[in-house]
């Protein structure tokens, strides 16, 4: 069983006299900054002169160039996108660090794959909310909280764990509970969720049903476009993956739980495919490929988007969404 931490485990007084710098004032950065300020923490924002800096100023935060904010802060929340994070760290933040400072990451990716190698005299911790940025703020305000994966990668001060839990409380996550993890584990489960193939499985289902004579509109509304899937996901969160099926018809329950389950051989074959997905994450093949794609201007990603935009399903989706008033 993983170790859990709750509000009673976090001591906000550990943040007294500390200046927390937010680097990356996007959905996560804004929500976490607002939550910490509401808890009494001193928060500044490091940003380029762009719309996010304007938003930070409108929200009442002292907003400085990245390097100046890095030099002022004792605790640094590194919340810029993974692909630009190493460059931002190297060019703007690293020179502003002091011994005993704390670096906080929301993802294990760049540390686990050694894209960023922090100096040895700073704490390196992770708070990875399992919640979108808007939800981080909303769940704080309504008092329910949200879970996060947390980890200490490097303890230079001797109390990095205590600082980690205090920060987790400050952003509102210990209300529901944070779970002790590792930078590697967070990276593996996060990338696996993105690479397991769900979107293309839906696309193949669409293709099979339309080949069988079903209309594109009926298929897309059934598979995802109606919003019913979002409601089901809410019940999965509240009741559990299979327990939420009791809210469906008995026909649906039998079809999904029993009749639609693949044979043991088919399940093992798909599990083997998923094991290979995990292997490519853990041994660095995916990270190496993604770095190569970025170095080539992300041309392969753009080509993938172009292919999907031209896919017959996406053409029909645009027609449906226009009719539904979404475009």
CB atoms within 10 A of CB 318: 13
Any residues with CB less than 8 A from the CB of 297 and at least 6 apart, and which?
none
Taking each helix axis from N to C terminus, what angle separates 51-58 and 27-38, rounded to the nearest 10 degrees?
A: 20
Contacts of 141 (CB under 8 A, 6+ apart): none
Q: What are phi and psi of 222, to 5 degrees?
A: -70, -40
Alpha carbons 13 and 232: distance in angstroms, whole number? 41
> How far apart (Å, rounded) are the C-alpha atoms in residues 173 and 136?
8
**Quick one: how many helices (H) and strands (E) in the chain?**
16, 9
Encoding tokens for residue 214?
A: 């079903």
Report the alpha-carbon distance of residue 261 to residue 107 in Å, rounded: 34
Summarize the annotated binding site as residue ranges.
190, 194
CA-closest candidate to residue 184, choices 149, 134, 216, 132: 149
Structure tokens at 294: 């970025």
Binding residues for Mg(2+): 190, 194
CA distance 174 to 293: 37
What angle, 0 to 180 degrees and rounded to 10, lies between the N-to-C axes of helices 27-38 and 133-141? 20
């Amino acid at each position: 069983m993983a170790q859990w931490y709750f509000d009673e485990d976090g001591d906000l007084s550990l943040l007294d006299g500390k200046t927390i710098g937010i680097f990356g004032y996007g959905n996560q950065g804004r929500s976490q900054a607002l939550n910490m300020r509401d808890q009494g923490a001193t928060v500044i924002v490091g940003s380029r002169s762009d719309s996010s800096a304007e938003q930070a100023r409108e929200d009442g935060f002292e907003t400085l160039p990245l390097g100046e904010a890095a030099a002022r802060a004792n605790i640094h929340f590194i919340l810029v996108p993974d692909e630009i994070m190493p460059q931002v760290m190297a060019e703007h933040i690293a020179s502003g660090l002091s011994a005993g400072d704390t670096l906080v990451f929301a993802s294990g990716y760049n540390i686990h794959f050694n894209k960023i190698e922090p100096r040895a005299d700073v704490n390196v911790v992770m708070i990875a909310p399992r919640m979108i940025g808007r939800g981080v703020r909303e769940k704080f305000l309504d008092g329910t909280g949200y879970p996060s994966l947390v980890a200490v990668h490097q303890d230079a001060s001797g109390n990095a764990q205590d600082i980690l839990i205090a920060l987790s409380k400050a952003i509102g996550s210990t209300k529901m509970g944070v779970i002790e993890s590792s930078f590697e584990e967070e990276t593996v489960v996060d990338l696996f969720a993105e690479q397991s193939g769900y979107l293309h499985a839906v696309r193949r289902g669409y293709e099979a049903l339309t080949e069988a004579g079903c209309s594109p509109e009926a298929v897309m509304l059934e598979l995802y476009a109606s919003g019913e899937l979002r409601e089901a996901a809410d019940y999965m969160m509240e009741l559990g993956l299979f327990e939420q099926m009791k809210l469906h018809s008995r026909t649906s329950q039998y079809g999904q739980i029993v009749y639609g389950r693949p044979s043991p051989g088919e399940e093992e074959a798909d599990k083997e495919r998923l094991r290979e997905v995990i292997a490519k994450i853990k041994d660095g093949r995916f990270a190496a490929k993604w770095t190569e794609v970025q170095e080539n201007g992300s041309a392969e990603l753009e080509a993938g988007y172009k292919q999907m935009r031209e896919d017959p399903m996406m053409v029909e989706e645009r027609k449906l969404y226009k009719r539904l008033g979404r475009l």
